[in-house]
Each structure stands twice: as C-alpha cells, then as structure tokens.
Structure 1
Amino acid sequence: MKKSYSTLINKKNITSIAIGGFDGMHIAHQQLFKKLDQNGAIVVIESGHSNLTPKSNRQEYTHFPVYYYVLDNIKHLEGEEFIKLLKEEFPNLKKIIVGFDFCFGKNRKYNTLGLKKLFEGEVIVVDEICDNNLAIHSRYIREFIRVGNIKKANELLGKNYKIIGQTTKGQGLGKKSFVPTINLTVENFLLPNEGVYITKTIIKDKSYNSVTFLGHRVTTDGSYAIETHLIGEDIINIMGKIQIEFIDKIRENQKFDNFEDLKKQIDKDINNALKYFDK
C-alpha cells in the first residue's frame, strides 16, 4: 500500500476507514468521509483509470490521511483475505464506511452484505447521493467535463474542476499578435473538450482571473494546445507547474479567416470573462 506523501500518521492509531475509488473527491464521497471519526483514514482502491484527481491529488481535498491500494495487486484476494489485509494494516480498525455499490474480493463477488459478515466491527453503508434527481458518480462528472459542461461538473464535484500542468514554450504569437499566454502540457488529468473557458489560474499559491483555451489551433498551426491568459497581467515567463480551475465555458473552438478576426474574438472572450468576475 502506498501512503500519500502529505500524510505522516501511525496506522496503529487509525480506528475507521472509508474505502472506495474516490476519483474526484466529489460531494458524494465527502458524505462517506463525514462518517469517519477523528482517527479516520481514506483507503483508495487505485484502478489506474482515475483522471479527475489522479495519483496523490486526492489528498488536497481532505484532512484525513489517504492510503492507496493498487487494484491489480489485491483483486485476486478472497473476501476473508482482503479483510485480513486491512486488519494487518490498521490493527485497531473498528469501523469501515463504504458506498451502497461497494464490491470487493476476487471477481468482485463480495458486496456490502459480505463486508458486514466478514468484518467484526461496525460497517456503515452510505446510500446513493443525488443532485436534482441525478446520481452523483465520477463517471457522470467525467462525461460532463468531456462535453464541456463545466458548470454541471463543478456542481457535482462541489468545487471547481482543476488540472495541473507543466509550463512549456508556445508559438510565440500570443504576445506579438494577440494577448500573452502561458502554455501548458498536462498529463493524467481529464481535459475538457475543445473551446474557451472562464478560469482561475493558480501560480505559486496566487490565483489570477484568466481565460483558457484548449484545443487544436485551427487558425494557426493546427497543433493541440492548452493556453491560459491572465486577465490584466503581463506574466508569461513562468517556469514549473501551475493549476487551472475551470468555471464555465465561453464558446466552442472555431476557425477564423484571418488573425484580425481571431484577435477580435479573443477580446470578446476576455470581456465575457470580465463580466463574470465583475459580478
């Protein structure tokens, strides 16, 4: 089991755990965490498909320590063996919290009823959580992000969707012909569909109002890019990692006949974002 880099706690002190995939750490997940006691911890079953909060990024959204099981390393275990493993990891474990659809063990043949039979302590099963009759699941949030419905994704997440990227060299056209931008390469995170978004860009713990473009630069070189413009700022020579929080989509990606038309549209995009931030 891999422990989050940001947590240092003696596992002997842990008395309750919440178990699940927890990709997104969304508002339904938070309902499970509320059932933990003060000596609680979060156990993530890492399938390798997490792209809302990949790897150790989940730790940002909870004060509980987060531990990780790699699914491929435990999926062969029978139910009794899985419970034994938990007891070895957390010898004072007295309570387990899971979602209503939790399954475990070889071929996922054990469910919440099996968990209650096999674990001698308390088992709390949290019912499905809905938002306006829509069940809150990571797979639905991913789909909203894929189609660019950031507002709905954020509603289900309970926070702004965020990606983390490494700064990289761009075309060099922005500062010369349009507006200065910071260019990013992003790995592991699910990217919203192509278009222009109202965003917040976080650099060294400082947040800037921004407009972000994701997509193929169909008016220029045709390559895929992630570019963010800090509104009212002239900061472009940034090195290292930065974060982008998505608030709402302004428009789809589109091709323009000339640079002048593109420049006019960029100005409109910035004005639309300003209207949001000035509310």
Structure 2
Amino acid sequence: MKKSSSILTNKKSITAIALGGFDGMHYAHQKLFNKLGKNGGIVSIESGFANLTPKSYRQEYSVYPIYYYELENIKHLTGVEFLNLIKEEFPNLEKIVVGFDFCFGKNRQNCIPQLKELFDGEVIVIDEIKIEDVPVHSRVIREYLKDGNIKFANKLLAKNYKIFGDQIKGQGLGSKSFVPTINLKVDDFLLPNEGVYATHTIIAEESHNSITFLGHRVTTDGSFAVETHILDKTIKNNYRTVQIEFIDKIRDNKKFDSFEELKEQIHKDINNAREILK
C-alpha cells in the first residue's frame, strides 16, 4: 500500500483541513481535498463504521496527511469544545473544508451555520455531488457493492473498489480438481455480494488479471471463501497480504449438480473475465 510522503507533517504547518469521515475516499471526498491547497491535512472522524477504506487504508488515496480522531473520544464535546480542540491541535489553521451535510458537537447539534459562526477563518462548503443523478455518498456506494453493481460503485468511487486480505490455506481442491487459487481471509472490508468477479489481483505491488470468487462454496463444503485465480500465469504467492480490485461482476453464486458442471462453468467464467479485462 502506498503511503504519503507527508504522513508525518507537523500539525503546526497545517493551514487548511478537510473534516469528515471519508470512508471510501470517493469522488466527492476528492472534491473536498482539492480545496485544501498547499499546507493541507485531513481530519478523519472514526465512527467504527468505515469498511470501504477502513483504518489507515485511506492514506493510499491522499497526498495529504490524515489525522484520525475516534468518535468515542470526542462525541461528548460541544461544538465550541470540538472547534477549540481542532484549533489547539492545528494552531495555524486558516481554512476548514466540509461537505454540505457536515455536523459536529454533542448529538450533532451544530452544522454549517454554527461552523461559520464559531470558526474565525475561511469555511468552504462543497455542495452535494451526483453522478447520473445518484448522490455520491459512502452509504450509497455500500448499497451498490452489496448488490454486486461493481461498475457503478467504481464510478462513484472514481477508482476500482479494492480489498486487502491475508493468504490462508484453502480446501485443496482448486489446484487438484479445478484451477489453482489464492485463498484469503478478509477482515474489516465490506465484501460485494456473493458471486464471481473479473478482478485485478495485486501481489507485491504487481497487478495481475484475475477472476475472484467470494461466497459460500455451495457445491463443495459449504464454507465461506474469498479465492482468486490469476489468469494465464502461475504465481507462487510468498507474500502474506494480497489486494483485489473489483472490475465487474460475471455471475451470481450458484450450486452445481456435479464437479464436472462446476469445472465447465469455471472455464466459461475465466473466458468471460479475459474478455472483460482485455
């Protein structure tokens, strides 16, 4: 995962911040960041619900340093107390950039009018952004992912949706009976709905065309799996962490009457993935 070279920027040098949750670091978030200017920083309020870009995975999508604040630790603060904390932490702050629906302070009692009233610097508010009449929000992107509509989720994200996982031992059937796969344990990230996807699998920062299955192995042992097959290459993965970028959905998960039927379908899926990834 790429890290910003400015990650260790001293807070005293920050003159502008973007305030919000920023799960997904999506298209609308990037519009906020574009207003920060040279000495910018991002203040991410951690609610515990981030699952598009959980934890420090957000840093990959920003040239600005990101400072994380746990909601649990600040939710008791009034609006005035919260802004006093921000001004104390960033003593040279001149500008705050927020989305149109930003609220702050205990029970979210303060919103844009109070922010403008309480902060003595510049406040920039980014209006709601839509793509094809769909509002660009993290909650909306989650719904598209849950429905398996990867292409439109990617459009709202302005990038390919990506998850990280650790390699684990699979059931051993892939290389013997079907095709070799890398099996992953994925924590923290939202998984798209069950099915087969055309993907890019990234190992040691190198991207490979691939096909990925996620869901319950209803034809074999019934257990839940995330497994990816690299197309047209034999990759010995000696790296623990693997990244998967989702490009498009090929089909839903389904049960087959025999291993032969499943094997035949896997080869059809691979050909479909090749076409999509051309």
Aligned counterparts of 2:223 and 2:24: Cα–Cα separation in 1: 29
Establish whether residue 177 from structure 1 lines up as the match of residue 177 from structure 2.
yes
Aligned counterparts of 2:226 and 2:78: Cα–Cα separation in 1: 45
TM-score, with length taken from structure 2? 0.97
CA-based RMSD of the aligned residues comes to 1.2
Q: Provide the residue aligned with 1:133 in structure 2.
A: 133
Runs of 4+ in 1 over 4 A off after TM superposition: none
Deviations 1:247-267 (A, max 9, x none): 000000011111111010000
Gaps of at least 5 residues in structure 1 are: none
Q: Provide the residue aligned with 1:195 in structure 2.
A: 195
Conservation of the 8 A alpha-carbon contact between 2:219 and 2:257: yes
Specify the SS of the correspondent of 2:242.
strand
Count of residue pairs the alignment pairs up: 275
Aligned counterparts of 2:67 and 2:240: Cα–Cα separation in 1: 27
Aligned counterparts of 2:192 and 2:99: Cα–Cα separation in 1: 27
Equivalences for residues 215-230 of structure 1 within 5 A: 215-230=215-230
- One-letter amino acid of the structure 1 residue matched with residue 243 of structure 2: Q
TM-score, with length taken from structure 1? 0.97
Specify the SS of the correspondent of 1:192.
coil
Conservation of the 8 A alpha-carbon contact between 1:6 and 1:59: no
Aligned counterparts of 1:176 and 1:116: Cα–Cα separation in 2: 64
Specify the SS of the correspondent of 1:49.
coil
Q: Provide the residue aligned with 1:144 in structure 2.
A: 144
Conservation of the 8 A alpha-carbon contact between 2:212 and 2:226: yes
Aligned counterparts of 1:58 and 1:8: Cα–Cα separation in 2: 15
What is the CA-CA distance between 1:276 and the residue it aligns to? 1.7
Aligned counterparts of 2:203 and 2:115: Cα–Cα separation in 1: 44
Equivalences for residues 9-158 of structure 1 within 5 A: 9-158=9-158
Aligned counterparts of 1:115 and 1:231: Cα–Cα separation in 2: 52
Conservation of the 8 A alpha-carbon contact between 2:185 and 2:226: yes
Conservation of the 8 A alpha-carbon contact between 1:182 and 1:238: no
Aligned counterparts of 2:231 and 2:6: Cα–Cα separation in 1: 32
- One-letter amino acid of the structure 2 residue matched with residue 226 of structure 1: V
Conservation of the 8 A alpha-carbon contact between 2:248 and 2:276: no
Deviations 1:213-251 (A, max 9, x none): 000001100000000000011224434000000000000
From the superposition, tell whether residues 167 and 22 of structure 1 become closer, same or farther in structure 2 (CA, over 3 Å): same
Gaps of at least 5 residues in structure 2 are: none
Q: Provide the residue aligned with 1:273 in structure 2.
A: 273
Conservation of the 8 A alpha-carbon contact between 1:45 and 1:71: yes
Aligned counterparts of 2:137 and 2:28: Cα–Cα separation in 1: 8
Q: Provide the residue aligned with 2:243 in structure 1.
A: 243
Aligned counterparts of 1:227 and 1:6: Cα–Cα separation in 2: 35
Aligned counterparts of 1:6 and 1:167: Cα–Cα separation in 2: 30
Q: Provide the residue aligned with 1:163 in structure 2.
A: 163
